[in-house]
Structure 1
Amino acid sequence: MKRIGVDVGGTFTDIMYWDEDGDLAVHKVPSTPHDPSQATVDGVRQLAEQVGISVADLGQFLHGTTVATNIVLEHNGADVGLITTEGFRDILHIARKKRPYNYSSYQDLPWQKWQLVRRRNRRVVPERINAAGEVLVPLDEEAVREQVRVLKDNGVAAIAVCFLHAYRNPAHEQAVKRIIEQEYPGVFISLSSEVAPQYREYERFSTTALNAFVGPKVARYIDNLANTTREAGVRGDIRLMTSAGGLITSQHAVDNPVLLLTSGVVAGLLGGCAIGRASGYPSVITLDVGGTSADIGVAPDGKLRMKHLLDTRIGDYHAMVPMAEVDTIGAGGGSVAFVDEGGMFRVGPRSAGATPGPACYNRGGTEPTSTDAMVVLGWLQADSFLSGSMRVEPQLAEKAIEEHIANKLATSVEHAAVGIFQILAHAMTEAISLHSVRKGYDPRDFSLVAEGGAGPLYAWHIAQQLDIPRVIVPHHPGIASAMGLLATDIRVEQPATVWTSLAAPDLDSVRDAFARLEAQVTEQLTGDGLAPEDFVIERSLDCRYIGQGYELRVPAPAGDIDNTWVASASEAFHQVHERTYLQRFDDKPVHLVNVRVTGIGKVGHVPLAEIESGGEDASAAVKGTREAVFWTDGSKPATFPTTVYDRALLKAGNVLTGPAIVEQFDSTTVIGPRQRATIDRVGHIIIETAAGESAAVDAEGGQR
């Protein structure tokens, strides 16, 4: 089957093609923020022509998008109405009573300043179900009809329905859904019992409201993309990446758009895991630097870590959906450098984006960016962007840095450019430290996978700062997120709250919950066109010690759910707790809060073919030598003669000694002084610091 993966970023849209013969091709085009589908379709057509196929030959179209995330961050979602239990109108306003600044009397609470549902659109109706799922107050259907009419008159585009304890018994929410469909056909409907069927009142309300907030725009985007690709000739269904690192169908995404939050960033982590495995280093830290942001992920042994459900936030809102642990900061090739009113030298998080872009793009941008700094440092050349198809103007980069930074700080353009790089690199270093060292992982046990158009420009320096032993630069670093789409599986997860102590468990409720969830997952996967032999079912548990407020996810033991199973589940939790918090409490009873069933539909992954071997001599790949600025710890920046290589001509076994620059279509790789790089069997560049070698640097920064 011919497959294509498309990852839409803020600056570029990355595309990768793979077919059943193992042929691989990549492409990269500037994004079109006003209509992301335009760049997507144009890029797919160009890549199809490049590999000599018709767009109609594509059997699968895999997509990662930041559309849902951007809607939340930019606060421009739909007008949402809420129908909830009488007495619970202000749950979204009260939240968890946490304040960003504990001792400030004057502050805006983000979830109150930018409300997901305005108070006049939060409507209540008589109904009540208790925590056991028993009906205490029947649903007043006439009151529901009246409130739906009010919301219709108010012009809401989506309606969220959140009743107390609906995770135990969804009957009332389902009844309200039927009434809404009668009274307000066509409006987007979001039910908490479908979106987040778990206990935790505020988080469930927030997630359901978020789903409604992004729903109409995401649905229009997916429908537009589907129509546009269909008109272009694509026959296969679009499958989209979720925040948990799996693929879902376009219809599932339309029904549950909240699952697409952080969609694009997870693809980069999955791609990094595949890259690390291919080079023999499964434990990876991924650094995916694009034009607008940098995404950092940590995968010990190549396995995604999932965030705790109380930490799954997007912007200022809680989203109680499965999310892989990936952090995003505002640091990228388009990050704007400036001197603020207090005289502080700052870079980002504001980005020049695709339009107007960095000053050197000559598209109207006049502010200096990270990309402009690298042009001034000599790392990026006018003819190296997208193989020369995108020209840059070095004099415009120098002018922007001189006017906006160097003159204000009374320094040289060169030193200002070094400062821009180091400020952004420090932000990335701190983010990696936050997700590794501060969570019990030693960066020295990992390899740093440099991804994105700018990741290989920063990785050489960041690895030195954190003592990471090696940097892996994949064959196509700028397309790693698109590769992640082709390296993942179809994934569906369904949770349920059971709430029972494993000291005296209600095993029947556990069995019933697993059976119900497995039936739902199986129905969804078979409805997506998968045969039972094409997917596997996995079980997991959310457990905690009685009295704790946070659960930990634990793999569920295999076998029948009996006393032996309970003992195994308790021991599994003790082990996970010990690994997470460095202690266990065998004398404390374990509480089972949620059970989860995950269906994984296996698809063929992209195989990384071995490249031609060429020995250590890399002279055949040399493009020339140019002057570029570098430094080492404790040294001043200085100009070095730097060898420039053509990535396409490098062979397995080739050795490159820093400082060096490797140019290719989708990215540029920097190898610093005192570093040594080798090309491995699948074409990845492996960069390691060569302490004490001949590239030593004296105290003034000059080569000796």
Structure 2
Amino acid sequence: MKILGIDIGGTFTDLYLVDNVENEQTIHKVSTTPEDPSTGALTGITELCEATGTAPGAIDYVLHGTTIATNAVLESDGVETGMLTTENYRDITHIGRHQRPQNYSIQQEIPWQDDPLVERRHRKTVPERIVPPDGEVEVPLDEAAVEEAATELRADGVDAVAICFLFSYLEAEHEQRAREIVEAVHPDAYVTTSSSVHPQFREFERFTTTAMNAFIGPPVTDYMSRFKRKLADAGVDAELHIMQSNGGIATEELVAEKPVSLLFSGPAAGILGGKWRSGANTPDREANNTITLDVGGTSADIGIVADDEIVEANVRETEIGGYPVMIPMIDIETIGAGGGSIAYVDQGGAFRVGPRSAGAMPGPVCYDRGGTEPTVTDAHVTLGRIREEFFLGGEMRLDAGGAADAVEASLADPLEMDSVEAALGVLDIVNNNMANAIRSKTVQKGRDPGKFTLVAFGGAGPMHAADVARELGVERTLVPSNPGVLSAVGLSTTDLQYDYISTEFTLVADADHDEIQAAYGELVEQARTRLRADGIDATEAMTIEMTADCRYEGQGYELNIPVGADGSLDSLSTIRERFDRAHAAEFGHSFADNAVEIVNERVTGYGELPSSELVAVPEKAHDVERHALAEETVQFRVDGETESRQTPFYDRRDLRTGHVVDGPAIVGEKDSTIIVPPDFEGRVREYGDIELVHME
């Protein structure tokens, strides 16, 4: 079984080919091609197949993580979008909930008003009305009005249409019929409905999510079609699967229907990879508690695994680019702190790093591609921490002199300090930015980071791991094998995953267990039907998870709790007790006498896919000193003082299980560099992961 993982980032495209029969795992990196990311990916696939002697047609699965949807939103690179909505409700997506991102600012930008996904002139209303609580038709759909609106949108050059009617989550008949009419009038348009994207109450968020699905639909589907065609041209005929924001894999067909599910595709794969490697190094009987730190070229992505479960974002907090979205997604904190983050002195004379990035082109100054502004990577090069023969396996030349000159001209001279201090200052700032972002997901959520394992990966993560761990008081830090491509590796550790939801307001005390069981049964059958359509035939290869969004009667927001598994609903008294415990854990208190309301019924279906397997590294045969390649002067910050230390360099491929690398040391490999500061040591574990331990 050959599995190919492809993760396209802002600077590099990472590839991972695993052969579970031969126990062979091969990584490869190529520069991302921003004008068409599929071009760089296909170049990497061709090179990887040639290097391993793999026939493209022998690849069984292609798993893909992409930022195409994210970039389309953040760069406003979607299409001209129109909307059909219920008469008199044209401005729901503008008014929102009278919530302002910054409560006390009178000069703030409100994304859905200042840069709307659908311009007001393209929002058309039609007579129709579904009413709660049972979804009865109060006003029939005016089909002639739908046809007229679709004709106007076509004449206005609209390329995508979002159909969003009130209470369509109770009855989707009107939206489905309107879709048929729009597709007949404007067959070239990408048409989507709120009931197919996410049939949940709260019309502002549902409408905005559907509008975003339409806005990014054409560029995402065009990219997927182009990528699949190029795979076929290259001789790869394996089925294409795409990573979703929820941490599961979906087929290309489902992604075409719901491209909004890809908004955090790439970072989600990294968290899966981090959980997998951390779990492999977690002692038996201990829960997997992990902080994942994925530092790439443009950003740092932070995720949390608590008690073996990846933490998902609360619906109150799911947004991208300031727009609220209602889709299941892993809770990811992203900050502008990557290897390409630009360091500069602002107009007030303050020393800053990021969020602006040099990206793939021109990249850091040391890449010698025309970059002129110093970056985090340039700071490391200036300090002597990156050897050219390790960088992409020696395939890319580094201009160390250019990096040092840029640091001196742009930072050291204006700040009146020497270049070494300026470069160390860059790292101090970016490390503190990362640590503060981690605190927002741990300390501010009642979690002690000292009790978690920090897993650092991405091309730049292992260079900052020890310093960030020291700042947070983390005792155990792990740098996994192939850290620079761990997101691509993570793609091969997950399964198919599909989410289904139904909104139905029911008080637990008044509910009938059999009626709720029947409602869940419909969602379970939808999940199983979808999985069977994707080739998951055996029931034992399917896992069904049942949860509910619950709240105390009168509350404005809900908590999600498990209510059953594999189609069988737990008792209502168990659901009640479980919600009280969840509320106490989240808010510090519960109300045993208050009625509990079930708001949304949710079902997640998982379909088992072939996965990567762990490969053990041989035991050491010689002392680690024997494997040192060179010893050079490297600059470190030790107890607040700048020190030059003679530092051995190692090739990670030479290290074996049981080796202990005393700091200071630098361990290089093709896709990343690990820095072991003077107060740390690195211990090589069974599967090649390196544990960094603070030696106080």
In structure 1, which of residues 550, 574, 578 is the aligned counterpart of residue 557 of structure 2? 550
Map residues 451-490 of structure 1 onto 2, 5 A cutoff.
451-490=457-496
Map residues 371-450 of structure 1 onto 2, 5 A cutoff.
371-450=377-456
Map residues 289-304 of structure 1 onto 2, 5 A cutoff.
289-304=295-310
Asked if structure 2 preserves the Cα contact closer than 8 Å seen for 1:616 and 1:653, the reply is no
Tell me by how many angstroms 1:341 deviates.
Answer: 1.2
Tell me by how many angstroms 1:387 deviates.
Answer: 1.5
Root mean square deviation, CA, Å? 1.4
Q: Residues of 1 paired with 2:61 and 2:311: CA distance?
A: 27
Asked if structure 2 preserves the Cα contact closer than 8 Å seen for 1:557 and 1:568, the reply is no
| Structure 2 counterpart of 1:687 | 692
Deviations 1:626-646 (A, max 9, x none): 11111234x211111111111
- The secondary structure found in structure 1 opposite 2:509 is coil
Asked if structure 1 preserves the Cα contact closer than 8 Å seen for 2:94 and 2:112, the reply is yes
Map residues 572-591 of structure 1 onto 2, 5 A cutoff.
572-591=578-597
Percent identity over paired residues: 43
Q: What is the letter of the counterpart of residue 684 of structure 1? A: D
Q: Residues of 2 paired with 1:392 and 1:249: CA distance?
A: 40
Q: What is the letter of the counterpart of residue 557 of structure 1? A: G
Asked if structure 2 preserves the Cα contact closer than 8 Å seen for 1:493 and 1:599, the reply is yes
Deviations 1:164-217 (A, max 9, x none): 000000000011011011111121011000101010110100100010011000
Structure 1 runs, 4 residues or longer, greater than 4 Å off: 506-509, 558-562
In structure 1, which of residues 204, 207, 229 is the aligned counterpart of residue 206 of structure 2? 204
2:679 is aligned with 1:674:
yes
| Structure 1 counterpart of 2:349 | 343
Tell me by how many angstroms 1:507 deviates.
Answer: 4.2
1:155–1:579 distance in 2 versus 1, CA, 3 Å: same
Moved more, 302-311 or 79-88: 302-311
Segments of 5+ residues of structure 2 without an aligned counterpart are none
Q: What is the letter of the counterpart of residue 14 of structure 1? A: D
Q: What is the letter of the counterpart of residue 62 of structure 2? A: F
Q: Residues of 2 paired with 1:320 and 1:100: CA distance?
A: 17
2:293 is aligned with 1:287:
yes
Tell me by how many angstroms 1:375 deviates.
Answer: 0.3
Asked if structure 2 preserves the Cα contact closer than 8 Å seen for 1:382 and 1:393, the reply is no
Map residues 85-124 of structure 1 onto 2, 5 A cutoff.
85-124=86-125
Moved more, 321-330 or 601-610: 601-610
Asked if structure 2 preserves the Cα contact closer than 8 Å seen for 1:498 and 1:510, the reply is no
Q: Residues of 2 paired with 1:348 and 1:85: CA distance?
A: 44
| Structure 1 counterpart of 2:244 | 242
Moved more, 611-620 or 85-94: 611-620
| Structure 2 counterpart of 1:277 | 279
Q: Residues of 2 paired with 1:277 and 1:616: CA distance?
A: 28
Asked if structure 2 preserves the Cα contact closer than 8 Å seen for 1:292 and 1:332, the reply is yes
Q: What is the letter of the counterpart of residue 324 of structure 1? A: I
Deviations 1:258-308 (A, max 9, x none): 000011001000000000011126211011000011000110133111111
1:197–1:509 distance in 2 versus 1, CA, 3 Å: farther
Tell me by how many angstroms 1:596 deviates.
Answer: 0.8
Q: Residues of 2 paired with 1:675 and 1:373: CA distance?
A: 21
| Structure 2 counterpart of 1:219 | 221
Q: Residues of 1 paired with 2:602 and 2:96: CA distance?
A: 26
Asked if structure 2 preserves the Cα contact closer than 8 Å seen for 1:540 and 1:556, the reply is yes
Map residues 489-508 of structure 1 onto 2, 5 A cutoff.
489-507=495-513
2:545 is aligned with 1:538:
yes
| Structure 2 counterpart of 1:331 | 337
Q: Residues of 2 paired with 1:152 and 1:250: CA distance?
A: 27
In structure 2, which of residues 650, 662, 668 is the aligned counterpart of residue 657 of structure 1? 662
| Structure 2 counterpart of 1:62 | 63
Deviations 1:431-455 (A, max 9, x none): 0000011111111111110110000
- The secondary structure found in structure 2 opposite 1:390 is coil
- The secondary structure found in structure 2 opposite 1:479 is helix
- The secondary structure found in structure 2 opposite 1:433 is helix
Q: Residues of 1 paired with 2:102 and 2:322: CA distance?
A: 14
Q: What is the letter of the counterpart of residue 2 of structure 2? A: K
Tell me by how many angstroms 1:573 deviates.
Answer: 1.0
Asked if structure 1 preserves the Cα contact closer than 8 Å seen for 2:478 and 2:691, the reply is yes
Q: Residues of 2 paired with 1:558 and 1:61: CA distance?
A: 30
TM-score normalised according to structure 1 size: 0.96
| Structure 2 counterpart of 1:701 | none
Asked if structure 2 preserves the Cα contact closer than 8 Å seen for 1:615 and 1:653, the reply is no
Tell me by how many angstroms 1:508 deviates.
Answer: 5.3
Segments of 5+ residues of structure 1 without an aligned counterpart are 692-704
Asked if structure 2 preserves the Cα contact closer than 8 Å seen for 1:498 and 1:509, the reply is no
Asked if structure 2 preserves the Cα contact closer than 8 Å seen for 1:654 and 1:678, the reply is yes
Tell me by how many angstroms 1:609 deviates.
Answer: 1.2
| Structure 2 counterpart of 1:640 | 645
Q: Residues of 2 paired with 1:507 and 1:125: CA distance?
A: 39
- The secondary structure found in structure 2 opposite 1:556 is strand
| Structure 2 counterpart of 1:32 | 33
1:559–1:48 distance in 2 versus 1, CA, 3 Å: closer
- The secondary structure found in structure 2 opposite 1:220 is helix
| Structure 2 counterpart of 1:14 | 14
Asked if structure 2 preserves the Cα contact closer than 8 Å seen for 1:557 and 1:569, the reply is no
Tell me by how many angstroms 1:503 deviates.
Answer: 1.4
Asked if structure 2 preserves the Cα contact closer than 8 Å seen for 1:500 and 1:506, the reply is no
- The secondary structure found in structure 1 opposite 2:28 is strand
| Structure 2 counterpart of 1:262 | 264
1:631–1:159 distance in 2 versus 1, CA, 3 Å: same
